[in-house]
Chains A and B, each alone.
Chain A
Amino acid sequence: MNATSGVVHVIDDDASLRRSLARLLRAHGFVAEAFDSAGSFLSAGLENRTGCIVLDLHMPAMDGLELQEQLVQARCRMPILFLTARGDVQKCARAFKTGAFEFLVKPVDEVVLLDAIRKALEQNRLAEESHALIASIQVRMDQLTDREREVMRHLITGALNKQIGGDLDIAEKTVKVHRARVLAKMGVTSVAELVRLCTAAGVEPRH
């Protein structure tokens, strides 16, 4: 039914609300898991899961904003949708500054809620994909020797073998060998492809 995959984590101290939200989400084909407090979510250790978080702003002990801060610090990539019964401008602003995906006021209509959740899951999916890409590039780059990495950073500037040899004070022939190894290790056939990978991984060209 729902193309988007990922778990919707519902965190609310109100049992009835928690149950009804999870029910609604499951009825629409989402996978929903409910938690009764910020603490119980944290102790489950699910920060690196795929999905999104529907978080109640007001909770005893640790409230929604504090959990958000902790998750950001833990590099959790799941988007957070805040749910609140009262429109508190200050808290809303603070939530968005810390990177909230959405801020919804209770009672929330299913159209609004489900739409927001779908968008959040889509965003998370994209984030996960780029994260996976960067991770694989990183794995390949880790196989390069220091000299090969040096040569790669010159290659992506579009420099010729001769220029690279001059800059690095090595023979043009040696540059050729390095170039072939870099392309092979990085799994590409052209310098153009290599540039794309390095841009995605954030490798700085050396001028």
Chain B
Amino acid sequence: MNWIDFSWTSAIAASFTLALIHIQIAFHLFGRMRWAHTFFTLSAVAVGITGMIELYSLRAETLDSFRTAMFHAQISLWLMLVSLAGFTWFFFERGRRWMPILSVAMSTISLVANFVVPQEWQIRYAKGIETVQTFGGAEFTFGHLVSGPVTLIGFLGTVILIAFIVDSSVRAWRDGLRRRAIMVGGGIVFSLLVSRIYALLIEVDMVQTPFFFVFPYLALLVAMGSELGVQIFQGARLTEVLKESERQVALAAEAATLGFWRWDMRRNELWATPGARALFGFSSDEPLPFPKFEAQIHPDDLPAVRDRIAFSVAERADYEAEYRIRSGADGWRWIAARGRIELDEKNNPLLMRGVVIDMNEKKHAQSQADDMRRELAHVSRASILGELAGSLAHEINQPLTAILSNAQAARRMLAGDRADPQEIREIIEDIIKDDKRAGEVIRRLRSMVQKKEIITAETMDLNDVVREVMILLNSEMLERQVQVAMEMEPERLMVQAGRVEVQQILINLVVNAMDAMREQPREHRRIVVRTGPTPAGAAVTVLDTGPGIPEPIRNEIFRPFFTTKSNGLGMGLAVSRYLAEAHGGTLSACNRADGGASFTLALPSDGGRKA
């Protein structure tokens, strides 16, 4: 065994070792880097085989066996070229696609041609061999070669490959990947040039040394491998960073009582993080079929949740829901869930992925705030009714007086023996009518003063509500000597809102209008109540002939505790606007061009539900 045997076998072993290492790495990677490693493995295999064929040729004892070696070397060289083209393509992700394809195509043509053409046309066809001695007394077989025309095709393929690598490297360099461009791009080009030129020298008998493609290629493998190693190392660091950030997300999720879930629609099963499982009261390892999840939802909320999910699946829309789930033995807990549909290749919903968050405390605070607002609305309603007490008493006293007079008249008639049955009947009819009238006023007042747990929306004609309120305020307007003009839309104006709340807002607006006109001479106290349709529903506008809203306080009037009245609480408009907005409506104010203020309450026909 001389140094030639030793060097070549070492190089071959090194190549196959690299191939083994990188094929394993390739298995653990995905995407582009898997391909880069796969092509690197192929390169390493190609270098190993090249080394073996070279060693075989150096040891050849007959011309035929030398020719066989030269002939088969083309296969490994072809594999080398193809794998370099592939590696460069996936490693740099840059360059013109046609170049590697053309290069591989030409190499393939030359390989195929080599098998079919006459021997004289083949690549590196040996005319004869001789045994040559080199330093260290080592002997090897040297062949005298002729290069057939097929060589030219393979040569062109190599040139195009070099051009492609140069092009890709330059692009990578420009994009700031300088180290990668020098080490890999430069390395490959250098190795290819060296091996090519040296091969040329041998082919034309300029030098009498063994072929040693294996060495520059091995060097090339080392350069490529080290770069891949850097990337692997960076990948490992990234994995570490990723793990760290996952830990942080988990921490944050835990702090926010946030849980992640995924719903596999085909298997109808849920996957959930420990946080989400804890929220729902599931143990950390039990399987979660969908019905098990539904069983935890409050029966009152379940239909809505199902609706939302069905809508989301049908429309591929984001899912959003707030609902109560079982918590502890007999308690309920508010949670909010958000999710997004993921589709398969055929655009069919595959799974839904999302988060779930504990809303209990927020909901609790919200419901307390709602309670307080309701309380405030009630107090404000009661307070304005208190202000109107005198005229409201009038509304009840009027029919009561008529009833009393009618009843006493009838008693007198019956006692006096001059009872006309027809007249008595008329009196009784009148009494019934007036009793109903008083009852109606009382019923309306009761509903206004009553405390309500929730605001219930109903569909109603805004015109009706306006008329009811104007009847209720009739005496007050008489008392204050205010004239009213009703400009009502003849068509029905259907809106969805709480009747009592709309009445409260209107009473506030009309009473404010009357207050605003207190200083006006009597003939200038005019209120216009106008109703009409809006794009989203209907609106009622209350116009007065007072001094209007002074510009500096225009934006202040809806603020709580803001008042211009000496005895006002300053809650009327604030509460009114809150009530309007609670129904998805608006309450706005402006000044009229000809003096006086204008307040408009707009209500949606759908109660402010979002489409």
Contacts and interface: CB of A to CB of B under 8 A. Distances in A.
Interface of A: 14, 16-17, 19-21, 23-24, 26-28, 58-60, 63, 83, 85-86, 88, 106-110
8 contacts: A20-B402, A20-B406, A23-B427, A27-B416, A86-B394, A88-B390, A108-B401, A108-B405
Contacts of A26: 409
Contacts of A16: 398-399, 402, 430, 433-434, 437
Contact of A27 (B409, B430, B437, B479): B409
A59 B483 CA distance: 11
Given A14-B398, A85-B398, A21 B405 contact: yes
Contacts of A88: 390
B393 interface: yes
Contacts of B398: 14, 16-17, 85, 106
A63 B477 CA distance: 12
B393 A85 contact: yes
Task: Please provide the 10 A-B residue pairs with the shortest distance between their CB atoms, ordered closest to farther.
Answer: A85-B394, A85-B397, A20-B405, A107-B401, A24-B409, A27-B412, A106-B401, A110-B408, A20-B402, A20-B406
B512 interface: no
A107 to B, nearest CB: 4
B412 A28 contact: yes
Nearest to B482: A60
A23 B406 contact: yes
A90 to B, nearest CB: 12
Contact of B405 (A17, A63, A86): A17
Contacts of A108: 401, 404-405
B394 A17 contact: no
B396 to A, nearest CB: 8
A128 to B, nearest CB: 27
Given A27-B416, A83-B401, A107-B400, 14 more contacts: A14-B398, A17-B402, A19-B430, A20-B409, A23-B427, A58-B479, A60-B478, A85-B394, A85-B397, A86-B393, A106-B397, A106-B401, A107-B403, A108-B404
Contacts of B413: 27
Contacts of B400: 106-107
B591 interface: no
A16 B435 CA distance: 11
B208 interface: no
A59 B403 CA distance: 20
A17 B400 CA distance: 9
A28 B413 CA distance: 8
B379 to A, nearest CB: 24
Most buried by B among A24, A26, A83: A24
A24 B401 contact: no
B481 interface: yes
A27 B479 CA distance: 32
Question: Looking at chain A's contact residues, is the secondary structure mostly helix, strand, loop, or mixed?
Answer: loop
A83 B397 CA distance: 11
B586 interface: no
B209 interface: no
A83 B483 CA distance: 22
B interface: dominant SS = helix
Contacts of B479: 58, 86
A108 B405 CA distance: 8
A108 B400 CA distance: 9
Nearest to A104: B401
B475 interface: yes
A68 to B, nearest CB: 16
A27 B405 CA distance: 11
A31 to B, nearest CB: 15
B478 A58 contact: yes
B165 to A, nearest CB: 101
Contacts of B478: 58-60, 63
Nearest to A14: B398
B394 A24 contact: no
User: For chain B, which range describes its interface: under 10, 10 to 19, 20 to 34, or 35 or more residues?
Assistant: 20 to 34
B391 interface: yes
Contacts of B394: 58, 85-86
Contacts of B437: 16
Contacts of A59: 478
Nearest to A109: B404
Interface in B129-144: none
A16 B398 CA distance: 9
Contacts of A27: 409-410, 412-413, 416
A107 B479 CA distance: 18
Contact of A14 (B402, B409, B416): B402
Nearest to B397: A85
Nearest to A16: B402
Contacts of A83: 401
Nearest to B408: A110
A89 to B, nearest CB: 12
B480 to A, nearest CB: 10
Most chain A C-beta atoms within 10 Å of own C-beta, residue among B403, B412, B430: B412
A109 B479 CA distance: 24
Given A23-B406, A27-B413, A58-B475, A17 B391 contact: no
B405 A23 contact: yes
A122 B115 CA distance: 148
Nearest to B419: A27
A85 B475 CA distance: 10
A14 B413 CA distance: 23
Contacts of A21: 402, 405
A91 to B, nearest CB: 10
A21, A58, A88 interface centre (most CB from chain B within 10 Å): A58
A85 B507 CA distance: 21
A83 B404 CA distance: 14
B412 A86 contact: no
A17 B409 contact: no
B475 A24 contact: no
B437 to A, nearest CB: 8
Nearest to B427: A23
A58 B391 CA distance: 10
Interface string B549-588: 0000000000000000000000000000000000000000
Given A85-B394, A109-B404, A23 B409 contact: yes
Contact of B391 (A20, A24, A86, A109): A86
A23 B397 CA distance: 18
B564 to A, nearest CB: 24
A108 B412 CA distance: 16
A86 B430 CA distance: 23
Contacts of A86: 390-391, 393-394, 397, 479
A145 to B, nearest CB: 53
A46 B169 CA distance: 117
A63 B409 CA distance: 27
Given A27-B412, A58-B475, A63 B481 contact: yes
A110 to B, nearest CB: 4
Contacts of A107: 397, 400-401, 403-405
Contacts of B475: 58, 85
B440 to A, nearest CB: 13
Pick the most buried of B391, B397, B423, B475: most chain A CB atoms within 10 A of its CB: B397
